[in-house]
Amino acid sequence: MAALGGRGPVAAALLRWGPAPGLRPVPRRYRYKEKWAATAPRIPCTRLALHHFDMSYSVQLKDLWPSVRAGLLCEQKYGALLNNFSADDYVSQELELMNATDFVSEGSKKAQQGAAAEEVRREESRSQEGPGKIRTVMQTEAVTQAEMSPPLRASISSNIKCYTYPRGDITRFRPARQDSLGLLDYYLMDAASLLPVLALNVQRGDLVLDLCAAPGGKTLALLQTGLCGHLAANDISISRTKRLYSILNSYIPKDIRETVSVTSYDGRDWEQLEGDTFHKVLVDVPCTTDRHSVMEEENNIFHKRRTKERQMLPMLQLQLLMAGILATKPGGEVVYSTCSLSSLQNECVIERAVDIAETQFNISVHVEDLSHFRMLFQDTFSFFTDCRLGELVLPHLTANFGPMYFCKLRRV
């Protein structure tokens, strides 16, 4: 009995001859208390992002949010940025045969028509006055409004060509192909990403800084203008800078690449390196990348480990914008952009930067009017009409570009 562990005569009998009729042994797996998971089930980052956006954007966008939400959760639409350095000259005709149109060219035509109509209105106002007549109040207001309207003709670079399919057409572009020189014929990108570049309005010989350049789409677009005297392309991430190098090597000839300097500095410290230097600065800051956040788990800013990083985004964005302003020459221009719908990352950053520039650096910064972009590109993009400052492209099922916020500042 000692060999049976001291269980006693009854237990020994049960083990030797089996259980009594009607009495079965308790299964071993129930003898120990149930184990509980040490951690709660992981909620996907995409679901966390969508919940966050539902809470904030339903208040910000109100009745527009359901349609914007549907756009974010559906396949993104792309544009084909033509490579002006490619030897293939048939690409435009090929895309036009597929019913794609160059939205930049269409906007440029509208700008020219608007400028011509504006000039006609001015001439009519002058002729109605007659010699020696005094302007009426209404005439004065009409002329003043015409004189103060945004410079439509100068705001569009006709050198940039980007083809998109019409609203509601979800046709996909073929992959880019190499020409006889080994350069790819076009670059597929969110067409709304070109709007900050167009707003920058690069002029011939301008010294241009792309402060947060990687992965390289906007840098490539800046080079397509053919107007940059020198382009400084910077990004703090060395791995993303490698992607930028890859883009430049795939699309840009060697002699043009030599006019580009690629660096990996912390953009927040740029004014210490080259302050008051550039005519034009593009500040395309890190943000919540709303579309990526609701669609992709990989590298998602809503991961639990990146909570602090996400909360600090507006501060980082402000610091980068201030560095961009300080890197600009007096009279130079800065375009700030994000791919987020958040007003905290958009208008609020602009307002804070303007205030800091004035109070701490004695720099006057003027926010430019970009409302004419809505008129020029309303056939291609869906714009939010209630931005306090700058312009915002909203995702929409019929024109599923964006989100893309951009605002132009001029250092006085």
Rounded CA gap, 214 and 192, in Å?
17
Candidate list 287, 339, 387, 407, residue with the active-site label: 339
Rounded CA gap, 232 and 244, in Å?
12
Nearest to 113 by CA among 156, 148, 144: 156
Rounded CA gap, 270 and 283, in Å?
12
Q: Give the tokens for residue 274.
A: 């080259």
Give me the phi and psi of 213, to 5 degrees please.
Answer: -80, -35
| Residue 339 is among the residues annotated as catalytic for this protein | yes
Return the number of other C-beta atoms located less than 10 Å from residue 132's C-beta.
5
Return the number of other C-beta atoms located less than 10 Å from residue 256's C-beta.
16
Cis? peptide before 151, omega within 30° of 0: no
* 11 close to 4: Cβ distance less than 8 angstroms: yes
DSSP state of 330: E
The full DSSP string for 193-245 is: GHHHHHHH---TTEEEEETT-TT-HHHHHHHHTS-EEEEEEE-S-HHHHHHHH
- Which residues are the active-site residues? 339
